[in-house]
Amino acid sequence: MTPSWIYVPAPSAAAASANYQVDGIMDEVNTNRYKVASFAESGSDAADWEEYPFTPIRKSNSHIEFLIKLTSTGQFSNKSAFTAATTNYTGEFTVGGDTFSHTSITIAGPGNGTIVRVRFVAATADINSYWSGVSDGESFLFKLSYEGV
C-alpha cells in the first residue's frame, strides 16, 4: 500500500479564539442604542468581564461601540490597568451574519472606571449604511482580541 498524504493547513490567526466574545440578541431601546436580550460570554479572558447592564451597543457618527464592564475579581482593576497591560486590539462586530467593516478599534472610558468602551471606528457613511440594516431581535456577535496578558 502506498502512503497517502493529506495537507491540513494550520489555523489562521483570524480563526484563533478571541480573548472575549459575546453572543446575544439585539433589543432596541431607540434608533441609536440597543440592550442585549441574551448575553452569552466566552473566550480565554471571559472571567475578567461582565455585561454592561444598560445599553451596551451604541452608534455615533464616528464609531459603533460595545460597552463591557471589568469584574471586581478579574485581573484588571480598571480601564487604565487594562490598557496598560494590553496592546494590538482586534475585533469583530457582526449582526445577523453581516460583519461591520471598521478601520480601527479604540478603547475608551474613564481611566479609573470599570467600564470599557470598545469602539469600531469607520466613516460616517459606512456606519450609517451598516446601521440601517440592524434591527430589533437580530443575533449579534462581538469579539475582542488583544495581546499582553
What does the alpha-carbon distance between residue 68 and residue 131 come to, in Å, rounded to a whole number? 20
Q: pLDDT by residue (tens digit) across 37-48?
A: 999 999 999 999
SS3 content of the chain, % helix, strand, coil (to 5): 15, 45, 40
In this prediction the pTM is 0.85
Average pLDDT over residues 14-35: 87
